[in-house]
Every structure is written in C-alpha cells, then in structure tokens.
Amino acid sequence: MVEAPQAEIRSVTAVMFTAMVSREARVPQEEALEGELRAEHARLVRELLPRQGGREVKATEDGFLLAFDGGLPAVRFGVALQDALRCYNQNASAERQMALRIGVHVGPVVSHEGDLFGEGVNLAARIEALARPGTLYVSEAVMRQVDGHALPPALRFRRNALKGLRLPVEVFRIEPLEAPPRPRLLARVRSFLAPKRARG
C-alpha cells in the first residue's frame, strides 16, 4: 500500500539558518579537520536545540535549517549557540577555531514532507548571508517579538534591500553577551519598533 503524500501545511514560523564560516581545505589533512569541525558544529546545535523547543529541519552544506515556534526561543537559542562556540574556541587550538553566521526571520512558510519552503525560509537565508562571523542577525519581525525580554543589547545594523524584494528589510545584529549596555542605542531601537502612530 502506497501512503498518500503529506499535505502542505502553511504557517508563520521562526526560521533560522546557521552556517560555519568556510576554511580553506587544500590538503587532505585540512579536509579531515573541516569534517571534524562540522561535526562539532552539529554537536553544539543538537545539544542546545531541545532546550529552546527548536526543531532541526535539515542539515545544509555548511550548517542547519532550524525552526522555532517564535522569534524569542530562536534568538535565545542563537545567543546560546554563539556563546557556547566562544567557550569552545577559548579551549581550542588555533587551527580548530570556528566561527558561525546565524540569520533568523519570522514569516510565512510551507511545510512539505518534513522540509520548509517559502518567504520565511528565503529571507532567513539572505539574512544569514549578511551576518558577520560570530554574530546573530535578525529581521525586524523577530525584533518585535523579542523586544522587552532579557537579551543582550541589539543594534540596528543597516537597511538592506535584500535581493529579489520590492521593499527593504530592516536587519538587526544581536551583540555578544559580553557587550556592555548601550542605553541610547537601545532607546533608538525601541523607538523604531514602536507603532508609527506613537512616533510623533
């Protein structure tokens, strides 16, 4: 008996891409080390993911596509992952140092046969590509969900007209846990996120 194909499920989901910053692998020894670092990346992701209720959708060439019920658990996971990686690097030799880029967006997705497709996935991938190594970049939609919660200071990074979009998407960088408080910048972010009618 052949099972009927799984129906498409449409929802609004927090989508995250993680990507390990590539290292040059010109000799077999470097290729082997690259594989070991990818395995360490996977270990960190899979160890921390259940704590925030996240779901591993699939492994990509250099990282993971992950899904969360909302922007807040996604950001908390992303912050925890970058923090865990910094701890790992403090105890690793120079050749075993790693850096990750992480991008998060909350938007419409289509779930089909265990995979995710749609605008939310495409934007998360583009935001991850913008991220600097060692950082977590999120969209305005994510920032609206996490505003007011206990997180590291956030900075508005820049306004980007992401490729293929008619309207620009505001992208924010979540600073490391060690970053000192920046009240004036936080006030600017909160002002930006306030409803337009309240901005004067």
What does 31-82 look like in DSSP terms, one character per residue? HHHHHHHHHHHHHHHHHHGGGGT-EEEEE-SSEEEEEESSHHHHHHHHHHHH
Mean pLDDT taken over the chain? 80
Distance CA 155, CA 134 (A): 15
Domains of the chain, with CATH numbers? Answer: 9-186 (3.30.70.1230)
Element (H, E) at 113: none
Average pLDDT of the residues in 89-105: 91
Q: Greater confidence, 17 or 171?
A: 17
What is the pLDDT at residue 177? 53
Tens-digit pLDDT profile for residues 11-53: 889 999 999 987 655 445 677 888 889 999 999 999 999 999 9
The identity of residue 124, as a single letter, is A
Distance CA 94, CA 115 (A): 36
Tens-digit pLDDT profile for residues 138-164: 998 999 898 878 777 777 666 555 666
Average pLDDT of the residues in 52-75: 94
**pLDDT at position 180 over 90:** no
